[in-house]
């Protein structure tokens, strides 16, 4: 931009939408966001294994960035390793750069029956294998490989900014909750209840969050109920047994343990009492098994959630349990520990301690998905780094937001997933390679990041969200973005149009992504355009993104291309007769003098005589 004589020259030719309206400088598809052609790329056809030809065709279009679509594991497995190496050579010759869109798979491990750790491990192996194969495309650099955060699982529904007073953290309209151990899902919505002792003129409102709290409370309480039921059953039986028979019981148990004769003849009454004690012990065994199982569940979940308060409470409960039973230094029972009355007291105290905690047995599906998916991505990224050793030659794992409405599709969820995946990477690096935590964190930040799909997040509109909501989600994930997918739509269907042909707030989203969004590769995903119109979306994409036509600097821009053609019906083909140009040329000089030209009356084209 230069200033001359008090006015500004932005570019040599300002252009115009049409010559009838020369003051309208931009096309009607311009998004207001400009990016140069060098940061843009095209995708290959995901339906063919001949990705070598696909890359060659895309490079011949002039764009140097190509994203290889390996979204189907069947197609990916059909590509010979020699083709991947040949693509690498082709890129070197053309000065191009490739990225990869990995298989679209469930990274969590969900099945119709619920969560399966075996399925999650299978997803981890698939992602690891994709990263390893992608390395062949750029063995001396960091090729970026993109995966959806999750696939096929539904998500919770959230209120838009307009529905939240004071723009507090997000609130749910409906929470899709998951039982952490079984993976079974249930929907929790706002409801109303008439409660005894309350004013019955109006029902009490219960939010999804409150219903989740109640569901957790009830689930934990239900798991503790069998403990007390079995303990009380034992107590009722023991109430009929004289305390002095406890000593006899201990002698009998000791003789059995040491395999020595008792040398004592039981009377019929004593034998009947011993049967009752053994029956009571069966109840106590069941109560103790339930109590220990719940103790282990609570501690494991608290440790996983890093809930230090619960862990501290359970630590004290454990000490009291050992004290009551008088366990030895290794935690093993003594002769005193086997006394039914002592055992009953210890179980009672253990249950009381368990009632003091509230572990998360049920959680929103987003939290559950982050917990499981972060293991998948973090482990896969570490596996590949552990193989190649060199951080500058290890593929970069990028996690993409799927279409809004599915699990882990918002900016907030994607941010949490990237953070937790990096933590998983760091934990393994510190534990298995004895790496300094700070060094491990630095490597994790380089090797794990986010891909932000602007078309996918725009689909929040179908849930009533507005531009400001979509922009806010982009702002949340901005610090983690390394890659951008560009497609436009109207917010209801997963269509993929060139930018500027839908209602994605492109300019505002990219402003929130800031420098990282500007520097990252921006891949044009216009599958619907290819399918419906059978033409390349490059020209339309360049117009929508206002890309400069020349590498030397600003202007003219592709969104001004219609004005550069300078005719009444620009972009609609040749509208004037060809004979006009054959007769008079493209300028005015060949017109007769009467019409402003230089040609005098003379022989006409048809009569060889002057014009009459």
pLDDT in tens, 477-504: 999 999 999 999 999 999 999 999 999 9
Q: Among 103-112, 176-185, 514-523, which stretch is predicted with the lowest mean pLDDT?
A: 514-523
Q: Among 17-21, 197-201, 261-265, which stretch is predicted with the lowest mean pLDDT?
A: 17-21
Q: Among 296-310, 321-335, 349-363, 594-608, which stretch is predicted with the lowest mean pLDDT?
A: 594-608
**Where residue 594 falls among pLDDT bands split at 50, 70, 90?**
low
Look at residue 441 in the predicted model and tell me its pLDDT: 97
Distance CA 298, CA 317 (A): 12
b or e along 474-507 (b: 16 or more beta carbons within 10 Å of the residue's beta carbon)? bebbbebbbbbbbbbbebeeebbbbbbbbebbbe
Residues present in the chain in total? 612
19 against 185, higher pLDDT: 185
pLDDT in tens, 136-151: 999 999 999 999 998 8
Percent over 70 (pLDDT), the chain: 80
* Tokens at 587, concatenated: 């300028």
CA 395 to mean position of chain CA atoms: 19
In this model, does residue 370 exceed pLDDT 70? Answer: yes
Cis status of the peptide bond prior to 556, with omega within 30 of 0: yes
Q: Among 261-270, 421-430, 478-487, 600-609, which stretch is predicted with the lowest mean pLDDT?
A: 600-609
Span 219-237, average pLDDT:
93
In this model, does residue 231 exceed pLDDT 90? Answer: yes
Q: Among 155-164, 217-226, 244-253, which stretch is predicted with the lowest mean pLDDT?
A: 244-253
527 against 568, higher pLDDT: 527
**Where residue 362 falls among pLDDT bands split at 50, 70, 90?**
very high
Look at residue 327 in the predicted model and tell me its pLDDT: 80
Look at residue 335 in the predicted model and tell me its pLDDT: 62
Look at residue 318 in the predicted model and tell me its pLDDT: 94
Distance CA 324, CA 333 (A): 11
Distance CA 544, CA 172 (A): 35
Residue 401 contacts by C-beta under 8 Å, 6 or more apart in sequence?
148, 149, 408, 409, 410, 411, 413, 414, 450, 451, 452, 453, 456, 457, 477
Span 542-546, average pLDDT:
90
Residue 249 contacts by C-beta under 8 Å, 6 or more apart in sequence?
274, 277, 339, 340
Highest mean pLDDT (candidates 57-66, 154-163, 389-398, 545-554): 389-398
Angle, CA 492 vertex, CA 473 and CA 158 arms, to 5° = 40
In this model, does residue 553 exceed pLDDT 90? Answer: no
- Alpha helices by DSSP H, listed for 239-267, are 245-258
pLDDT in tens, 154-202: 999 888 876 665 556 788 899 999 999 888 899 999 999 888 888 888 8
93 against 247, higher pLDDT: 93
501 against 247, higher pLDDT: 501
* Phi, psi (deg, nearest 5) at residue 191: -140, 175
Angle, CA 99 vertex, CA 95 and CA 105 arms, to 5° = 165
* Tokens at 405, concatenated: 């409405």
pLDDT in tens, 428-484: 999 999 999 999 999 999 999 999 999 999 999 998 899 999 999 999 999 999 999
Q: pTM of the entire structure?
A: 0.81
Distance CA 529, CA 431 (A): 49
Mean pLDDT, the chain, rounded, equals 85
Span 50-70, average pLDDT:
93
**Which DSSP string do the residues of 130-177 spell out, in sequence order?**
HHHHHGGG-TTS--EEEEES-SS-B--EE--GGGSGGG-S--EEEEEE
Look at residue 568 in the predicted model and tell me its pLDDT: 44
Three-state DSSP class for residue 452:
strand
pLDDT in tens, 119-138: 999 999 999 999 999 999 99
Look at residue 201 in the predicted model and tell me its pLDDT: 86
Distance CA 277, CA 100 (A): 68
């Amino acid at each position: 931009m230069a200033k001359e004589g008090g006015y500004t020259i932005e570019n040599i030719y300002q252009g115009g939408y049409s010559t009838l309206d020369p003051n309208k400088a931009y096309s009607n598809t311009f998004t207001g966001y400009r990016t140069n052609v060098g940061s843009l790329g095209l995708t290959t056809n995901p339906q063919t294994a001949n990705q070598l030809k696909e890359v060659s065709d895309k490079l011949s279009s002039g764009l140097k960035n190509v994203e290889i679509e390996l979204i189907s594991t069947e197609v990916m497995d059909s590509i010979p390793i020699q083709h991947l190496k040949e693509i690498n050579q082709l890129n070197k010759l053309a000065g191009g750069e490739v990225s990869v869109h990995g298989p679209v798979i469930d990274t969590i491990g969900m099945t119709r029956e619920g969560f399966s750790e075996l399925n999650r491990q299978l997803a981890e192996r698939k992602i690891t294998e994709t990263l390893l194969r992608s390395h062949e495309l750029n063995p001396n650099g960091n090729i970026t490989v993109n995966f959806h955060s999750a696939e096929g699982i539904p998500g919770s529904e959230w209120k838009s900014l307009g529905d939240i007073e004071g723009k507090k953290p997000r609130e749910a309209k409906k929470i899709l909750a998951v039982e952490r151990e079984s993976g079974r899902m249930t929907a929790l919505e706002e409801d109303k209840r008439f409660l005894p002792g309350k004013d019955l003129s109006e029902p009490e409102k219960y939010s999804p969050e409150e219903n989740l709290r109640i569901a957790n409370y009830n689930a934990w309480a239900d798991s503790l109920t069998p403990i007390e039921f079995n303990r009380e059953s034992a107590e009722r039986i023991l109430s009929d047994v004289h305390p002095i028979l406890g000593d006899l019981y201990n002698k009998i148990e000791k003789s059995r343990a040491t395999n020595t004769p008792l040398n004592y003849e039981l009377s019929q009454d004593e034998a009947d009492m011993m049967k009752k004690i053994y029956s009571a012990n069966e109840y106590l065994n069941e109560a103790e098994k339930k109590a220990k199982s719940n103790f282990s569940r609570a501690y494991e979940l608290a440790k996983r959630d890093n809930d230090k308060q619960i862990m501290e409470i359970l630590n004290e409960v454990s000490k009291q349990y050992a004290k009551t039973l008088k366990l030895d230094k290794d935690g093993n029972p003594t002769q005193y520990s086997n006394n039914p009355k002592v055992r009953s007291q210890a179980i009672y105290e253990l249950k009381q301690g368990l009632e003091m905690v509230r572990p998360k047995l049920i959680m929103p599906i987003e939290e559950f998905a982050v917990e499981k998916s972060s293991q998948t991505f973090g482990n896969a990224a570490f596996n590949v780094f552990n193989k190649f050793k060199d951080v500058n030659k290890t593929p970069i794992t990028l996690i993409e937001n799927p279409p809004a409405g599915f699990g882990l599709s918002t900016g907030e969820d994607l941010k949490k997933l990237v953070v937790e995946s990096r933590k998983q990477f760091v934990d393994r690096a510190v534990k298995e390679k004895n790496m300094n935590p700070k060094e491990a964190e630095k490597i994790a930040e380089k090797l794990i990041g986010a891909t932000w799909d602007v078309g996918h997040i725009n689909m929040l509109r179908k849930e009533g969200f507005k531009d400001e909501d979509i922009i806010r989600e982009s702002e949340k994930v901005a610090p983690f973005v390394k890659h951008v997918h560009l497609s436009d739509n109207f917010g209801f269907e997963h269509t993929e149009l060139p930018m500027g042909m839908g209602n994605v707030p492109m300019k505002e989203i990219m402003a929130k992504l800031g420098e990282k969004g500007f520097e990252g590769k921006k891949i044009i995903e216009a599958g619907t355009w290819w399918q419906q119109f059978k033409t390349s979306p490059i020209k339309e994409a360049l117009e929508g993104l206002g890309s400069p036509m020349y590498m030397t600097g600003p202007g003219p821009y592709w969104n001004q291309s219609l004005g550069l053609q300078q005719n009444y019906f620009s972009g609609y083909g040749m509208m004037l007769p060809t004979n006009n140009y054959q007769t008079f040329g493209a300028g005015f000089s060949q017109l007769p003098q009467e019409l402003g030209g230089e040609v005098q009356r003379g022989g006409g084209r048809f009569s060889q005589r002057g014009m009459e």
